[in-house]
Structure 1
Amino acid sequence: MATSSPAHRARSAAAVGLAVSFTVSLAVFGGATPAFADSNAKPTYEVKIDLTTSALDASHAPTAAVKSAFGISGSSKARSYEYFDTSALALNAQGWDVRLRHKSGSDFEETYKKRYPVTGGDIDAALDQANDEGFDSSDTNYDAEVDWGYSKQTLSFSNEKSHSDSGYSGTAMPSGTTGRSWVVGEIPGKLEDWNSKNWGADTLKSSVAQGPVTSQVWSGAWESSDDAGIEVLPVKAAGGSGTEYVIEVSFKADDYDDAAELHADAISVADAHGWLYHGDILKTQLILDRY
C-alpha cells in the first residue's frame, strides 16, 4: 500500500485547513447574505393643522381673513365619505382604514390605507417597519405619505381605486350594503390576506358603513405648496345630538424640508391670529367613533 511522507501529510492538512477557512469566509461574508431587499418607500408629506371655530363665519365657512392668511381662494366644493369597518373596528385595530368618497362631479374613490405611527419624529423607523411588512419602494400600487399634524406624525400607504358615479348626482352615496360590495370587490391583495388567508376580505364582508359625512373644501396655494386647502367638516357631537365642526388647513409637499417649514409657519400664523387648535383631531377616528 502506498503511504505518504509526514511532510506530504502536513502539506495536505494545511491545504484542507485553507479550504475550510476559505469556505467559512464565503459563508460569513458572501453566501449567507440573503437576496437584497428593496429600499424603503419615499413618502410625500401633508401638513394638517386644526383651527378653532373662531376661524369660521356665521355660515360656517372660513372667514375672509383666514382664507387670505393661507392663500385660499374661490368657492368651496363638496365631498361626502364614509368608512367601512366592523362594530369592534377590527380593521382599524390592525392599522387599516377603508374609505369610500364621492367628490362633486367625480367618480367614487375607494381608498385602502395602512397606517404606521411615527414615534419621536423617527420617520425612517416607521418606513423600516413598513418595509418589513411588504410596503417598499417597489410597490407602485401604494402611495406613501406622512401626515404631519400639530404634534403627531403618521406614515400611510394608500391604494386608491375608482368606481363609476353613474346614477349618483352631486355627492350622493350608495346604500351601506352597495358601498360595502364595491370595496369588498376591489380589495387589494395586501389587505385581503392580512394576518391570514382571506382575513381582510372576511373582515370587510362583516363591516358596516361608518358615516356618511359631507364636508366643504376650499383650495389654494401657500408658500412652497401649490396644493393648499381648508376643509370644514360637520360631525355628530360626542353626546349624540347637535353638530361640531372640524376645521383643518392642509398643505401638500414633496419633501421633508418644505413640509417642516410649512408646518412651523402654519402654526405660527394660526397662533398669532388666535385660530390655532393646540392639538390633533384625527378625522378618521372621529368618524369611526361617532357613526
Structure 2
Amino acid sequence: MIIGRMTSLTKALPKALPLALAVSAALLAPAAPAHAAEPSVSYEVKINLTAAALDGSHAPSAAVRKAFGITGSAKARSYSYYDTDDRALDAKGWSVRLRHKDGSSFEETYKKRFPVTNGDIDAALSTARAAGFDSADSSYKTEVDWGYAKQTLSFSNEKKRSAKDYPGTALPSNDTGRSWLVADAPGKLKDATNALTASRAHGPVTAKVYGGAWGASDDASVEVLPVVGAGGTGTEYVVELSFKTDSRTAAADLHRESVAVAEANGWLYRGDILKTQLILDRY
C-alpha cells in the first residue's frame, strides 16, 4: 500500500512541480518598482510669422486668414508676468502670469517648464515625474509647446479672480496683482515663494487674438502682440500662429503643414520667439 501510494505521488510530481516552482518564483521575485502614472498631455503648435502676415492695421491679412482658417474677429487680452529683476522665478523654471481677457475673470497661471531635448518628449515626462509632476496631481494641465525648432513641456496650475470693477482688459496695480498671486500660489511653488513675494509686474502688454479652425485642430488662432522695441522705443509686432490638439501625431502633422504653408507664402519666421522671455526682457 505504501509503495502504491509512493508510485502515485511520483507520477503526479512532474505535473505539479512546474506550478509549484512558478508560485515560489512569484513569491520570491522582487516587487516591481511603483511609478506614478504619466499625465495626459495636450499639444500646442506655435509658429511665428513675420510682419508680412499683417495688413496695414496690424491684423492678419486676408491671405493669412484664408490659408489658416482664421474666421473670428479680434478679441483683446492683457497680461503681465511677475518675476524679480534678476528673474529668480525664471531661473527655477517657473513663469507666473496674470491675464485678463475682455469680459472674463482674471486668470492666474503658474507654469513649470521642462526642456524637451532632441524631440524626446517621453524623457522630459520622466524628468518631470521625478520632480513630482505626474497624473496624481490633477490640478495641473500638462502641455507640450511645439515651436518652429524647440519643444517645451509645461505643467500649468490656473486660478481665477473676479474682475469686478476692472472694465475691458484692465489689470490691477503691481502690488495688488502680486498679493493675489502670492495668496493663490500652489504648493509646488513653495521653493520659489520668496521670489514671488519679491516680484514685480513685467508688462502689461495687450494682444489681439483671432480664432478659427484648420486641419486637425478646431482651435486655431493668430495672436498679434505689440511690444516695445529692443531699444526701449517704438513698437514691434510679434505674430504667433497656434494650433491646439490632444494628439502627438496630429501636432506633428500640424507643425509640418503650417511651416510649409507659411514658408511657401513668405510669412515664416525661422526661429522661436518666446513671449515670456521677451516680456521679461523689455518690461
**Mapped partners of 1:40, 1:132: distance in 2:** 11
Please tell me the residue identity of whatever aligns with 1:264.
Answer: R
Please tell me the residue identity of whatever aligns with 2:271.
Answer: G
Task: Give the length in aligned residue pairs.
Answer: 259
Paired position in structure 2 for 1:257: 249
Alignment partner of 1:205 is 2:205 = no
- Give the C-alpha shift of residue 102 in structure 1: 0.1
Paired position in structure 2 for 1:273: 265
Superposed, which structure 2 residues align to 1:46-195 within 5 Å? Answer: 46-192=44-190, 194=191
**Mapped partners of 2:37, 2:270: distance in 1:** 36
**Mapped partners of 1:99, 1:256: distance in 2:** 26
Specify which of 177, 202, 223 is matched with residue 215 of structure 2: 223
**Mapped partners of 1:149, 1:73: distance in 2:** 23
**Mapped partners of 2:26, 2:63: distance in 1:** 68
- Give the C-alpha shift of residue 28 in structure 1: 8.1
- Give the C-alpha shift of residue 43 in structure 1: 1.0
**Mapped partners of 1:219, 1:103: distance in 2:** 14
- RMSD over aligned Cα atoms: 1.4
Gaps of 5+ in 2: 1-24
Gaps of 5+ in 1: 1-24, 195-199
- Give the C-alpha shift of residue 29 in structure 1: 3.4
Please tell me the residue identity of whatever aligns with 1:269.
Answer: V
* Identical residues among aligned pairs (%): 62
SS of the counterpart of 2:223? strand
Superposed CA deviations along residues 178-203 of structure 1, whole A, max 9, x for unmatched, are: 000000000000012x3xxxxx2221
Alignment partner of 1:248 is 2:246 = no
**Mapped partners of 1:250, 1:81: distance in 2:** 18
- Give the C-alpha shift of residue 40 in structure 1: 1.9
**Mapped partners of 2:26, 2:179: distance in 1:** 54
Superposed CA deviations along residues 198-224 of structure 1, whole A, max 9, x for unmatched, are: xx2221110010000000000000011
Please tell me the residue identity of whatever aligns with 2:175.
Answer: T
**Mapped partners of 2:145, 2:196: distance in 1:** 25
Alignment partner of 1:29 is 2:29 = yes
**Mapped partners of 1:66, 1:269: distance in 2:** 10
Please tell me the residue identity of whatever aligns with 1:276.
Answer: L
- Give the C-alpha shift of residue 26 in structure 1: 9.0
Please tell me the residue identity of whatever aligns with 2:142.
Answer: A
Please tell me the residue identity of whatever aligns with 2:98.
Answer: L
- Give the C-alpha shift of residue 72 in structure 1: 0.3
Superposed CA deviations along residues 140-170 of structure 1, whole A, max 9, x for unmatched, are: 0100000000000000000000000000000
TM-score, length-scaled by structure 2: 0.89
**Mapped partners of 1:225, 1:26: distance in 2:** 48
> Cα distance 1:189–1:50, how it changes in 2: closer, same or farther (>3 A)?
same
**Mapped partners of 1:74, 1:238: distance in 2:** 31
**Mapped partners of 2:209, 2:185: distance in 1:** 28
Paired position in structure 2 for 1:17: none
**Mapped partners of 1:186, 1:27: distance in 2:** 48
**Mapped partners of 1:83, 1:239: distance in 2:** 20
SS of the counterpart of 2:139? coil
**Mapped partners of 1:95, 1:201: distance in 2:** 13
- Give the C-alpha shift of residue 30 in structure 1: 2.1
